[in-house]
């Protein structure tokens, strides 16, 4: 494969500069927490946000991959928070020799929103198991650079490696901000003896409901309803008033988030289509499939899917000729996450964060196929149809449906 010379996230390739902000709405776990990516005005010297925004996410990642928190978390934190490169962290892991890279997302933090004569279509993005809102920044930033608003949710169903909400402690302070207390929601595995499906199925329903609530929130913001962001005032959500095209809304996700996107499409009529990146179909109940009547694009990697999972995708494609299944050759499950760009060669060999296909080439295929699909089903007037051949599995490193031999989990 082509070497990855530097460990950094790619910039969006579209015509728009990209900004992002974090939004938390509500003072309990039934609220919403997400990172919003959006087209923004150019800004010299703009601050770029950290890829891992809080120390606690390092705890969560350590727990998720079953590493010892006592030594794993401090080195992860030093690496990502101080942006000194993966070398220090993974040399201690004995997984990687010295490498350097930037661990900030190449977008403008709280950059000025770029209003335009027309409204922006909306994508609601659902992360995978053990991830959080920033792990798909490369995909989300690319979509925003192409003229989408992207709401990257952080789910509160115990499937994120860690997340939190802010609650008000009565009597603590006269100031609401000073009275806010964080409550963290850790990653949770199925209990011993508990069937995995019976644990994951309620989670995927909670996740899909959060996607629907995310859409409802954007509807409120678009019509000018005052929405309080718990975090800060640096980005004014009222700037989005009348700037969201709520007739052009899609739901997208990776792995567990791919299954979430399929379920959300069935739950909410305003979602016009779904893009499912290497979807983990296992948590979806059989009764769901007849209810998914709108098109889905399944973009699979070569080394993750099972025969059973692909068969479930084919149940949907057999019902709707506009539902497409393609596979990117030389890719692995993490190829559709930011980890594929931020892991060095030895770490890649241990954790399989990268396949034989250059990760930047793999990202281009993923994004271009998604954009072509979104143009068609959101009825966009863009030039994304130049990549329509990808939807049929035609092109370098892409095939229709699945390889003859799929992996077993």
Backbone angles phi, psi at 280, to 5 degrees: -90, 95
Q: Which CATH architecture has domain 17-49+105-400?
A: 3-Layer(aba) Sandwich (3.40)
CA pair distance 34, 37, nearest whole angstrom: 10
The answer on pLDDT for 78 being more than 60 is no
Closest listed residue to residue 9, CA positions, set 110, 136, 109: 136
- CB burial class (10 A; 0-12, 13-18, 19+) of residue 250? buried
The answer on pLDDT for 82 being more than 60 is no
Average pLDDT of the residues in 186-191 = 92
Closest listed residue to residue 267, CA positions, set 325, 329, 206, 225: 206
Q: Which residues, in sequence order, are bridge partners of residue 296?
A: 274
Q: How confident is the model at residue 162 (pLDDT cuts 50, 70, 90)?
A: very high
Give the rounded percent of residues in the chain with a pLDDT score beyond 90: 71
What's residue 67's pLDDT? 53
The answer on pLDDT for 303 being more than 90 is no
Question: Residue 338 to residues 2, 240, 297: CA-CA distances in angstroms?
Answer: 17, 27, 21
What's residue 108's pLDDT? 97
Q: How confident is the model at residue 170 (pLDDT cuts 50, 70, 90)?
A: low
Q: How confident is the model at residue 233 (pLDDT cuts 50, 70, 90)?
A: confident
Tokens of 135: 């792990």
CA pair distance 323, 235, nearest whole angstrom: 37
pLDDT digits (tens, 9 = 90+) for 5-25: 457 899 999 999 999 999 999
State the angle between helix axes of 55-64 and 69-82 in degrees (0 to 180), rounded to the nearest 10: 130
Average pLDDT of the residues in 348-356 = 69
pLDDT digits (tens, 9 = 90+) for 391-409: 999 999 999 987 654 544 3
Average pLDDT of the residues in 33-49 = 95
- Spatial strand order in the sheet of 244-254: 108-109, 17-25, 32-40, 149-153, 120-126, 244-254, 271-277, 296-301, 324-328, 398-400
107 touches 235 (CB < 8 A):
no
pTM of the predicted model as reported, rounded to 2 decimal places: 0.89
Give the rounded percent of residues in the chain with a pLDDT score beyond 70: 83
- CB burial class (10 A; 0-12, 13-18, 19+) of residue 112? middle
- Tally Cβ neighbours within 10 Å of residue 3: 6
The answer on pLDDT for 153 being more than 50 is yes
pLDDT digits (tens, 9 = 90+) for 101-124: 348 999 999 999 999 778 999 999
Q: Please state the domain extents for the chain.
A: 17-49+105-400
378/81: higher pLDDT: 378
Q: How far is CA 129 from the centre of its chain?
A: 11
- Tally Cβ neighbours within 10 Å of residue 398: 24
Tell me which H or E stretch contains 37: strand 32-40
Catalytic residues: 255, 278, 333
Average pLDDT of the residues in 353-368 = 91
Q: Which residues, in sequence order, are bridge partners of residue 101?
A: 7
CA pair distance 260, 252, nearest whole angstrom: 8
What's residue 349's pLDDT? 59
User: Taking the CA atoms of the chain, what radius of gyration do you get in angstroms?
Assistant: 20
Least confident segment among 42-56, 96-110, 251-265: 96-110
The answer on pLDDT for 94 being more than 50 is no
- Tally Cβ neighbours within 10 Å of residue 202: 11
Tokens of 216: 């409802």
């Amino acid at each position: 494969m082509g070497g990855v010379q530097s460990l950094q996230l790619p910039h969006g390739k579209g015509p728009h500069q990209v900004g992002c902000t974090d939004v938390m709405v509500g003072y309990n776990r039934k609220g919403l927490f997400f990172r919003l990516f959006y087209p923004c005005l150019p800004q010299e010297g703009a601050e770029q946000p950290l890829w891992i925004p809080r120390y606690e996410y390092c705890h969560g990642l350590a727990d998720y991959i079953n590493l010892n928190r006592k030594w794993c978390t401090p080195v992860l934190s030093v690496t990502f928070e101080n942006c000194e490169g993966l070398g220090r962290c993974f040399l201690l892991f004995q997984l990687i020799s010295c490498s350097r890279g930037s661990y900030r997302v190449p977008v403008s933090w709280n950059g000025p929103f770029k209003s335009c004569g027309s409204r922006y279509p909306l994508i609601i993005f659902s992360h995978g198991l053990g991830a959080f809102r920033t792990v798909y920044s490369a995909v989300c930033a690319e979509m925003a650079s192409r003229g989408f608003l992207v709401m990257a949710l952080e789910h509160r169903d115990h499937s994120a490696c860690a997340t939190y909400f802010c609650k008000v402690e009565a009597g603590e302070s006269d100031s609401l901000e000073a009275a806010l207390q964080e409550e963290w929601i850790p990653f949770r595995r199925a209990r011993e003896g508990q069937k995995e499906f019976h644990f994951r199925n309620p989670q995927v329903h909670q996740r899909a409901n959060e996607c629907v609530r995310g859409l409802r929130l954007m509807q409120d913001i678009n019509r000018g309803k005052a929405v309080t962001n718990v975090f800060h005032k640096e980005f004014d959500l009222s700037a989005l008033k009348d700037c969201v095209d709520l007739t052009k809304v899609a739901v997208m996700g990776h792995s567990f988030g791919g299954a979430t996107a399929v379920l959300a499409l069935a739950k909410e009529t305003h979602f016009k289509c779904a893009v499912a990146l290497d979807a983990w179909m296992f948590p979806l109940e059989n009764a769901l499939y007849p209810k998914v009547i709108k098109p889905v694009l399944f973009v699979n990697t070569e080394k993750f899917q099972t025969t059973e999972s692909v068969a479930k995708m084919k149940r949907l494609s057999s019902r709707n000729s506009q539902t497409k299944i393609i596979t990117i050759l030389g890719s692995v499950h993490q190829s559709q996450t930011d980890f594929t760009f931020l892991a060095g060669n030895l770490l890649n060999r241990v954790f399989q964060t990268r396949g034989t296909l250059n990760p930047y080439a793999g990202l281009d295929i993923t994004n271009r196929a998604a954009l072509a699909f979104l143009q068609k089903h959101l009825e966009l007037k863009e030039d994304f149809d130049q990549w329509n051949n990808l939807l049929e599995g035609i092109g370098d490193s892409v095939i229709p449906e699945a390889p003859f031999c799929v992996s077993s989990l």
